[in-house]
Amino acid sequence: MRFDVEVIGGGLAGVEAAFRLARMGFSVGLYEMRPERRSPAHRTHLLGELVCSNSLGADQETSPAGILKAELRRLGSPVMASADRNRVPAGRALAVDREGFARDLTDMVSSLPNVTVVRREVTSIPTGPCILATGPLTEGEMAEALRAVAGGEDGRFLYFYDAASPIVTIDSVDMSRAYRGSRYGQGEDYVNCPLTREEYLAFWEALVSARQAPRHQFEEPRFFEGCLPVEEIARRGVDTLRFGPMRPVGLPGPDGREPYAVVQLRQDDREGRLYNLVGFQTNLLWGEQERVFRMIPALRDAEFVRKGVMHRNLYVCAPKVLDGYLRPLGAHRRDLFLAGQITGVEGYLESAAMGLCAAMFMGCVLKGLELPHLPPETALGSLLRHLREARPEGFQPMNVNLGIFPPLEERIRDRRERCARYFRRALEALEAFLRENPHLDTAG
């Protein structure tokens, strides 16, 4: 074999894994099928392409996503390094210029002397040391190969739907009917498009009755609650949107009063020309999207440069399929790991984090070391613990959130203060872990 390890898939998890293994001194073949073959969501040949939102979520120590980011930064994650370098304004969130981010990541990984990027589709699982990071849109022969190691017949190999928001050009937004401002006066990053009660009700009617793109026959709809299509949220009740993506609370207009409902637009590129409709993932037919979303007064003449789309999303039922170290039990191999979203996590950074963990574990296998136990107080450890210990029945992909960490010993009522405590505990636990396992501290 040409390489010490083969990493299949140059997405967020694959890039993270390849980078770390290279840092540990291994030669890595990183296989990416694009541009020869594209998934329904990827648009470029770049490694680590973001397929939907350009936001990587909150970035403070008072949010669970902030804990994960801090750990990834501490561990020298290339995904975080690139995100920090390609940041665009987005209030308290870390949003990036999507092309700059992926280009930077591609350059970072391709320039490592012991990483070789091989541009071709891999159609079977290699027999040597391998990390499979082919993502939630894995299809064809590789999906069948995964099904075989995960066991598909009794429901252990699952799938569900996910949806992406449309993007408009800012020049086409009617700013006389919109205003800038982040929620609770935290800056000016978002463009807010308000609706009166009458406008909202007409919009809601149109949304719930609009035509949707057809589904494939073999696909059974299983929505992930954190990423529901906007029309699906609307269908749950006339006011559901006003408590979800159209929530007006903390967004007073120029007259100082909160509107009845509001659609927020978030910057999507470095130059600030493109904005996405926050939380408006959708499966409406493309023509229907323009018709319905133009009922939002500020978007009446909006130019939709990307329509919302909806895709199949593959992941395994981790508590049944994986061994606690991201290895599929059905493969009976010490040197085959899954990574990324297919392990049963949800989110860009959670996927990258599972690339990092798989690489750490692989490195230990190749060096003949015992596999390390990441402390559950850390975000990484709690995600792994969730994959190992969650209830298999109705298993759903999981974002990092306080509910998966072991509870604090004392009760702290204030959410921000509570989260800050989790944050400090996580970073202390990570430092202790790295002191005990100095060979895994490859950040420098």
Ligand X SMILES: Cc1cc2nc3c(=O)[nH]c(=O)nc-3n(C[C@H](O)[C@H](O)[C@H](O)COP(=O)(O)OP(=O)(O)OC[C@H]3O[C@@H](n4cnc5c(N)ncnc54)[C@H](O)[C@@H]3O)c2cc1C
By CB under 6 A, name the binding residues for ligand X. Answer: 8-14, 31-34, 39, 41-42, 51-53, 121-122, 133-138, 142, 162, 164, 311, 313, 340-341, 347-348, 351
For residue 219, the minimal CB distance to ligand X (Å) is 13
**Nearer to ligand X (CB atom), residue 279 or residue 375:** 279
155 labelled ligand-binding: no
Annotation-wise, does 12 bind a ligand? yes
Min separation Cβ 89 and ligand X, Å: 18
Report the half-sphere exposure of 19 (CA within 13 A, side-chain side). 33
Q: CA 331 to CA 236: how far, in whole Å?
A: 42
Task: Assign 235 to helix, strand or coil.
Answer: helix
In DSSP terms, which residues pair with 93 in a beta bridge? 58
Q: Whose CA is closest to 379, among 433, 416, 327?
A: 433
Nearer Cβ to ligand X, position 59 or 377? 59
Comparing CB distances to ligand X, the nearer of 195 and 314 is 314
b/e 41-77 (16+ beta carbons within 10 angstroms → b):
bbeeebbbbbbbbbbbbbbbbbbbbbbbbbbbebbbb
Q: In angstroms, how far is the first alpha carbon of the chain from the final one?
A: 29
Q: Binding residue per annotation — 10?
A: yes
* DSSP H or E segment with residue 95: strand 93-96
Nearer to ligand X, 130 or 364 (CB): 130
Residue nearest to ligand X (CB): 11
Closest approach, Cβ 141 to ligand X, in A, equals: 7
Comparing CB distances to ligand X, the nearer of 32 and 61 is 32
State the Cα–Cα distance between residues 147 and 330, nearest whole angstrom. 10
Q: 14: annotated binding-site residue?
A: yes
CB of 200 to ligand X, least distance (A): 25
Cα(116)–Cα(114) distance, integer angstroms: 7
Give the shortest CB-295-to-ligand X separation in angstroms: 24
Binding-site residues for FAD sit at 9-14
Binding-site residues sit at 9-14
